[in-house]
Every structure is written in C-alpha cells, then in structure tokens.
Structure 1
C-alpha cells in the first residue's frame, strides 16, 4: 500500500470519533463564570460594620484575659483605658500609672471609629478629665467587669465573670 491510500484509510477509520477535551472558548466561558461566582462570594463574605465591631470586642476580650494573667504573674496591677478612638494599657509603678508599650499591650485603635465606649461595671474613676479604667489585679478571683462598645445602633458587650475569662457578644 502506498502512503496516500494509507492516509485515506486512517481518515475513514477516525472520522467517526469525536475528539475529547474542551475548546479554548469553552474553557474561557467556564473561567468567566467561576470568576463571577468567586467575586460574589467574596463580597458577601467580607465583614459588615456589626462584624467589625464584634471583632474588636473579641480582640479586647482576649487582651483583657492576657492583662489579667500578666497582672497575676507580674504581681502588679494593669489597667485599661479606652474611648471612641482607641485604648491603652497602663501598669502600676511606685511613681504612678505608666503606659505599656510592649507588642501585645501597645496602644491600639478600633477597626471602625466608635460613637462611645462605656465601662458599665467594674470601672474605677480616675478624675474628671480621664476616662474610667478597668483594673486587672493580682487576685485569681476579681469583681465582674463589663465594657460596652457602641457604634450607631450596634452594641457589643465585653464581659468578664471575675475568673479571668472574658466574652464579647451582641445583645
């Protein structure tokens, strides 16, 4: 058999088969649809204002737990002061309260500006111009403390039961 009849025979044998796989156009359509779906999920999964304020409350709750442990381990009280712009931790020294600047207890700001920060329970007044403080002492059991973060109609309670555990919740 010569080469020309061989090619004809191969073409006739394979002409009934459809090539498997996807065309470039089909792959592009699938990629565009996947991109649209992923962008919709990303937009809906990003936290809203309520979620951001709750995240701040949970972060402060963890920091309060760490401050309580640090006060017990270091045998010195640690205080927290906060307002609508942010917060800071202070440590008690023989010369008075001085701000802490370590990584964990460095001054911080809220993810979203708050309208109000209310020390609802367990706060100590420090004077007319100073915000009330939450003080974490050396005792294992302390008085309950409660902080309320307010932004518009969003309220987040950060409460401690006196045993060193703190929880953030929305009422």
Structure 2
C-alpha cells in the first residue's frame, strides 16, 4: 500500500472541519485581544515609578554638585534644569537668578527631557519642584492625572519617594 493513503475504517479531517476550527480559534483570539485593552492607569503608574527614579538621581546630582535642580512638568512630559533658583517676592514660583542658559540635561540619559506614555497628564501642584542639597527637606505630595486615572507621588522629609 502506498504511503499516505488511508486504510478502510480510517478517516481524516475534511477541509470544511479544519476551516471551522480555524474560524473558532480566530474568534476566540479576537475576543481575548479586545478584552485586554491597555489600562491608562498602568502607564501612568509606570511613568510615576520612572519619575521617582529620575527625581532620586537628580537629588543625588544636587548633593554632589551643590547647584539646585528644578523639575517642571507639562501635559506632554517633564524636564529637569540646573541653575540657581529663588522665589520672586510675593510668589511661590521659582525664577532663575543666574545669567546665561540653564543646563537642561539634553545629553544626560537619566535627566534628559521625557514624554509621558499617555497624554495629556495633569500634575498637581503645577509649580516646579526644586531639589536642593539639604539632607532634610520638606515632604510633599504630587498627583499625576490622566482622564479618570490618578497616581500619587509622595516625598518624605528624608528624601524617600513612594508611588501610590
């Protein structure tokens, strides 16, 4: 008997049966992929965890260099800038008091300007965060918000960060 032929009583799958199985598998795959929609809160939490790491790097840089680094966010992303900062009289908004350009860390892998994964992101409070060389500083709370998702970044007085 030639190889590949069926003996009496043996039966293979028909082309129609194989096509039905493939359609069922395709429908199940599509249903699963549609139910796994990206969670904007997950991307926001990932951005917050990375932000905390970059803030810690910037804090260490300030302690080594001695110059204040400011962190500023907008709806699309955030950036760090190094210079001498002070609050203008009657305002909590820091302004640069050095002549010349600020160091914006464009070529620094850790402190370069970054984009949020999801946009726009609303940051509260909206003012810049100043990182100083003081070993003990004020604790603060920052909220990152995108749509209905909110992630909180906390800094304690000793410089530790937490994402909630």
> TM range, normalised to the smaller chain?
0.5 to 0.7
2:80 is aligned to 89
Cα distance 1:74–1:154, how it changes in 2: closer, same or farther (>3 A)? same
Normalising to structure 1: TM-score of the pair?
0.63
Gaps of 5+ in 1: 1-6, 120-130
Per-residue deviation, 1:99: 1.8
**2:104 aligned residue (99, 108, 131):** 99
- Given that residues 157 and 168 in structure 1 are in contact (C-alpha distance below 8 angstroms), is that contact kept between their aligned partners in structure 2? yes
Alpha carbons 2:77, 2:114 under 8 Å: kept: yes
Change (3 A) 1:38 1:100: same
Residues paired across the two proteins, number? 144
Q: Distance in 2 between matches of 1:139 and 1:72?
A: 8
Mapped partners of 1:74, 1:25: distance in 2: 73
> 1 CA distance for matches of 2:135 and 2:24?
57
Return the TM-score normalized by structure 2: 0.65
The answer to whether structure 1 residue 77 and structure 2 residue 68 are counterparts is yes
After TM superposition, give the deviation of residue 141 of structure 1 in Å: 4.2
Equivalent residue of 2:35, what SS? helix
For CA contacts below 8 A with separation 6 or more, give which structure has more relative contact order. 2
Structure 2 partner of 1:37: 28
How far apart, CA to CA, are the structure 2 residues paired with 1:109 and 1:90?
A: 15
Report the secondary structure of 2:142's partner residue. Answer: strand
Contact 2:68 2:130 in 1 (8 A): yes
Q: CA RMSD in A?
A: 3.2
Q: What is the distance in 1 between the residues matched to 2:159 and 2:104?
A: 22
User: Cα offset for 1:41?
Assistant: 2.6
User: SS at the partner of 1:38?
Assistant: helix
Which structure shows the bigger proportion of residues in helix conformation? 1
- Indicate if the aligned counterparts of 1:144 and 1:161 stay in contact, CA closer than 8 A: yes
- Give the structure with higher Rg (CA): 1
* 8 Å contact from structure 1 (residues 52, 112) kept in 2: no
Question: For residues 56 and 33 of structure 2, what CA distance do their matches in structure 1 show?
Answer: 32
